[in-house]
Amino acid sequence: MTPYQPTEFAVTVRAADARTLRVAVCGDLDFETTDAFALAMYDTLHVHAEEHGPTLRDLHLDWAELNAFDSSGLSALLGLRRRAHAAGISLHLHHQPDFLTRMLQVTGIADYLTQRAHPDGRASAPSAATGQRESAPVS
């Protein structure tokens, strides 16, 4: 068995325009790197807002190079979701490794993270009766 080799943690903006950001997360998102992740995402969103104003609507996170993810990473991702939705930005998760998908399913937050945000900071919530999305305030 090959011993685990940690990869240097990095958050990289891969593409950006006024309405969309594409960001790749590389390495381990865990207790040791969650502060770096939160700061990198805050800085990325801040720089985008300074350059384009409050036009960002979609934040795409690419997890293809993620090696590990723990509850601290989950907390950081939830914090990013709260900040993004308050600004009317929807999160999109791409190329999730199986361990990340499993954690999001076990904790029951996969749908919560990727709910569509409204420009005024409200989220779309599924209607219990129809399964269609309706406007609902974010709490």
* Per-residue three-class SS string for the chain: CCCCCCCCCEEEEEEECCCEEEEEEEEEECCCCHHHHHHHHHHHHHHHHHHHCCCCCEEEEEEEEEEEECHHHHHHHHHHHHHHHHCCCEEEEECCCHHHHHHHHHHCCHHHHCCCECCCCCEEEECCCCCCEEEECCC
pLDDT value of position 3: 64
Q: What confidence score (pLDDT) does residue 92 get? A: 97
Q: Is residue 33 part of a domain?
A: yes
pLDDT higher than 50, residue 11: yes
Residue 3 lies in a domain: no
pLDDT of residue 23: 98
In the chain, the number of structural domains is 1
Within-domain flag for 17: yes
What's the rounded mean pLDDT across residues 122-135?
Answer: 41
- For the chain, report the end-to-end CA distance as a whole number of angstroms: 46
125, part of any domain: yes
Average pLDDT over residues 5-18: 88
CATH at 44: 3.30.750.24
Which residue range forms the structural domain that includes residue 75?
A: 10-136
- Lowest mean pLDDT of 49-58, 106-115, 128-137, name the range: 128-137
Pairing of the two strands 133-136 and 10-16:
unpaired
Q: What is the mean pLDDT of residues 67-84?
A: 96
pLDDT of residue 85: 95
Residue 104 lies in a domain: yes
5 lies in some domain: no
118 pLDDT band (50/70/90 cuts)? confident
Task: Report if residue 74 sits inside a domain.
Answer: yes
Pairing state of beta strands 58-69 and 20-29? parallel
Residue 26 lies in a domain: yes
Percent of the chain with pLDDT over 70: 82
Mean pLDDT computed over 111-122: 84
Report pTM.
Answer: 0.82
